[in-house]
Chain A
Amino acid sequence: MTAAPGRARVQQVRERLAAALQPAVLLRRFGPLFGLLLLSGTLAVLSDHFLRFDNLMGVFRQSAVNALLALGQLAVIITAGIDLSVGSILGLCCVLVAMLLKAGVPPVLAVAAALAIGVLLGALNGVLFTKLHLPHPFIPTLGMMNFARGLALVLTGGFPISELPAGFRFLGAGSMAWIPAPVLLVVVCCLLFHIFLRYTTYGRDTYAIGGNRQAALLSGIPVDRRLIMVYALSGGMSALGAIVLAGRMNSGFPLAGMGAELDSIAAVIIGGASFFGGMGTVAGTLVGALIMGVLRNGLNLLNVSASWQTVVIGVVIVVAVWVDVVRQRATEKGRAVRR
């Protein structure tokens, strides 16, 4: 009798392990990762340049901005929303930070100001969506997408602002122990987002709102405040992306981040999040961003033109989601048993 609790514990762990190792569960959890490994393996065979250290670091550096935007986008998509303005907020912040630096503002302050503007515009998205009772976040963020991009063009007259101070460029172009600074930044952000989404009450509210907004509201969750927070977060990540991009390109250009909103959405969806909300992980999203980066890099190495790359990425997006749908249907059928 004394050994029973211990044995029960072992049994429990064993059962949990068995449940976690089911093919369907594995596919759900690691499907995107399998895809990334398969893709990388294929490229390693097709090109001997692919696996070189400097090439891989280049891929990571190239993927960093998309990964940052995708993290913000992930939080939004978990609430069953969408943020179309991330690319434009990135563009505007990119221009703003460059102008501030040119005006002699110290880099730390310029960065802080850009982040504040990003958070503010993101929060405005959230306020417009919740307080004006607009039918879908598509509307306010579509408005913001045009508003911010237009403002970036107005402020610069359409011309890039180049030659930024070296101190500022570290986040975009610098390295620490051979590892590019933006890659480190992405790692840190991923950890923070993971903790935020999985281990805080705020993160749990985020999933609840996406799972059933009405039920969340009637359970006393301050739905509007949480949504504003999530959109503000996404705006902040856009600003962070802008700082990395401006540093890497050594300029603030008003067309920075054109179409980036769609890349970030693609990364989140390829990473296994559901457009209907309530589902999605940081790990999946990171893998999604890497799949897009590796794919672009691989196609470059194989001398595929940029136009064809876009075609391939279109196919990958649809196939990735389709695989997910097929898998979900299969598990649904298995569950019909209990009806």
Chain B
Amino acid sequence: MFSEPNRPPLLELRRITKSFHTVPVLHEVDFDVCAGEVHALVGENGAGKSTLMNIVGGVYAADAGEMLWEGGRVAVATPRQSQELGISFVHQELALAPQLSVAENIFLGSHPVARLRCWVRWREMQERAQSLLAELGQAIDPAQPVESLSLAERQLVEIAKALAARARLIIMDEPTAPLSEKEAARLFSVIAQLRGRGVAVIYITHRLKEIFQVAGRVTVLRDGRRIMTRPVADTSHGELVSAMVGAEIEDRPPPSASPLAAAEALRIEGWSAPGSFRDVHLTLRCSEIVGLAGLAGAGRTELLESLFGVGEREAGRLFVNGQPVTLRTPEDAVRHGLALVPDDRKAKGLVLTGSLLFNMVLAAPRAHARAGVFPNGGAEKQAGERLVETLRIKAAGLEQPVQHLSGGNQQKVVLAKWLFAGASVFLLDEPTRGVDVRSKAEIYEIIRGLAARGAAVLFVSSELEEILRLADRVLVMHRGRVTGELARTQATQERIMQLATGGEN
């Protein structure tokens, strides 16, 4: 459907092999993508996706194998050479200058210039940026500074930037990870535009469902080897998952607890903050998992953080275990047994240069301290080792810095921090964002385990599937208000979307 048999693919990789020191990372991987095609690349963290794409981008050199561009062999030794071929990246961590305008970012490094090659033609830049964005069907003002845009809009600016650099192949690394479903849909329509222009797209993702929406073909990598390449029409979600992990993961149905009888853990009444959320009422019981659904910008993160003593609050009352309390700072919240797993673990959850153990004891430095001042290293270590085992954290040891762990393992360390602190109310913001399939299933297990042991869990997720799989009860937010509450049996994707988009009850 997408590949024309007579024309060579735009990019073809043949038997790419790469080792770092003596550790093999890629083994004879074949891969190709044609003009106007979206080719999805999936695999668990550590499967070799990033390394393969870094070879295409000229960041690493392959040990063996060849790269062909429109049928001719090319050597790409630097990122610059890769760009000159017409290859662009849309990064997971966006590479834009936040203070500069949209137009300046789009033409960063390729300003339209006049004589002497140093006068910037501001007006021309503005107009070209405008028309590029219009072609993508997006109404973004090119004069706006990038920092005033949403994450989704910034991503579109990156795509426009790639087009401005005359990219013919765009590599997208988990572009939908930070997006709401609606924003993701907008991205997909932009990707369809790109396809229409004959641009090739390599699409890396952990959300397998999306592949069936955007991609023509899909390739699965596992442990540095290509496991399969198929048109998406000839494969299924289940087949992809088992190709990625090498065996079927059983997806246990959640235990059907009856939480209504359990004691109240956390309650808020008339909870409001200027500009973020209004008049929220919510009760969280022990042993209960409550999902908080809604679109990005609905105020879910702000609500969660406000319960933890972060940010401004205008009005409302909060009860922990039935007692009214005031939480002015996170310190107060921790003292009352609350735990927050923030939406961005690298920026808000972890001390990246610190070891596993250092991060685990962060919220409870006095748990094993003599006189409250001198920590008992031995006791901490024992507790840490137990957590590594029970949460199945894969690391070289308690002393390893967390910055080099995979996303899933990092997230488990953040959870371990709160288990170490003995928290009883867990506020989780996008607990499986940017986490591979296997870790995701394990994190679901952990969360269910928390509830089974009596903890109360309130979690925010932009993935409806996650909400439906995990939650005993679903709350839906729209523009700062809770617009609906659904029991597990009532909750469906359609129902939630309706409430999240402001549809009638």
* Chain A residues packing against B (C-beta within 8 Å): 199-202, 204-205, 207-208, 211-212, 214-222, 278-279, 334-339
Tell me the complex Cα distance, A333–B362, Å.
28
Known: A199-B375, A201-B365, A337-B23. A220 touches B334 (CB 8 A): yes
**CB < 8 Å: which of B310, B361, B406 contacts A218?**
B310
Between A and B, 30 residue pairs with Cβ closer than 8 Å are A200-B373, A200-B375, A201-B372, A201-B373, A201-B375, A204-B358, A204-B361, A205-B365, A208-B351, A208-B362, A211-B353, A211-B354, A212-B348, A212-B352, A215-B362, A216-B351, A217-B310, A218-B342, A218-B349, A219-B417, A220-B330, A220-B363, A221-B331, A221-B365, A222-B329, A222-B331, A335-B404, A338-B404, A338-B406, A339-B50
Tell me the complex Cα distance, A152–B25, Å.
64
Tell me the complex Cα distance, A207–B349, Å.
15
Q: Tell me the smallest distance from the CB of B388 to a CB of chain A, in Å.
A: 15
The residue on A at minimum CB distance from B406 is A338
Q: Tell me the smallest distance from the CB of A279 to a CB of chain B, in Å.
A: 7
* A279: chain B residues within 8 A (beta carbon): 353
- The answer to whether B351 and A215 touch across the interface, beta carbons within 8 angstroms, is yes
Tell me the complex Cα distance, A252–B21, Å.
61
* B220: chain A residues within 8 A (beta carbon): none
Q: Tell me the smallest distance from the CB of B471 to a CB of chain A, in Å.
A: 24
Interface of A: prevailing SS? helix
Residue B119 lies at the interface, judged by CB distance under 8 Å to chain A: no
The residue on A at minimum CB distance from B341 is A218
Most buried by B among A204, A220, A337: A220
* Chain B residues packing against A (C-beta within 8 Å): 20-21, 23, 25, 46, 50-51, 308, 310, 329-331, 333-335, 340, 342, 347-354, 358, 361-363, 365-366, 369, 372-375, 404, 406, 417, 421
The residue on A at minimum CB distance from B334 is A220
The residue on B at minimum CB distance from A225 is B331
Closest 4 CB pairs of A and B: A220-B334, A211-B351, A337-B20, A201-B365
The residue on A at minimum CB distance from B338 is A220
Q: Tell me the smallest distance from the CB of B308 to a CB of chain A, in Å.
A: 7
The residue on A at minimum CB distance from B365 is A201
* A208: chain B residues within 8 A (beta carbon): 351, 354, 358, 362
The residue on A at minimum CB distance from B401 is A335
Tell me the complex Cα distance, A183–B365, Å.
34
Tell me the complex Cα distance, A75–B48, Å.
41
Tell me the complex Cα distance, A151–B348, Å.
41
* A200: chain B residues within 8 A (beta carbon): 373-375
**CB < 8 Å: which of A199, A216, A278, A334 contacts B362?**
A216
Q: Tell me the smallest distance from the CB of A170 to a CB of chain B, in Å.
A: 32
* B46: chain A residues within 8 A (beta carbon): 338
- The answer to whether A220 and B374 touch across the interface, beta carbons within 8 angstroms, is no
The residue on B at minimum CB distance from A199 is B374
Most buried by A among B23, B51, B362, B375: B362
The residue on A at minimum CB distance from B21 is A337
- The answer to whether B334 and A219 touch across the interface, beta carbons within 8 angstroms, is yes
Tell me the complex Cα distance, A339–B335, Å.
37
Q: Tell me the smallest distance from the CB of B214 to a CB of chain A, in Å.
A: 25
Q: Tell me the smallest distance from the CB of B212 to a CB of chain A, in Å.
A: 28
Q: Tell me the smallest distance from the CB of A147 to a CB of chain B, in Å.
A: 30
* A204: chain B residues within 8 A (beta carbon): 358, 361, 365, 375
* B342: chain A residues within 8 A (beta carbon): 218
Tell me the complex Cα distance, A127–B20, Å.
48
* B365: chain A residues within 8 A (beta carbon): 201, 204-205, 221
- Given A217-B329, A217-B330, A220-B421, 9 extra CB contacts under 8 A: A201-B366, A204-B361, A207-B354, A208-B351, A208-B362, A217-B310, A218-B308, A220-B363, A221-B331
The residue on B at minimum CB distance from A338 is B404
The residue on A at minimum CB distance from B361 is A204
Tell me the complex Cα distance, A207–B361, Å.
13
- The answer to whether A214 and B361 touch across the interface, beta carbons within 8 angstroms, is no
Tell me the complex Cα distance, A204–B360, Å.
12
Known: A218-B310, A218-B340, A220-B333. A278 touches B353 (CB 8 A): yes
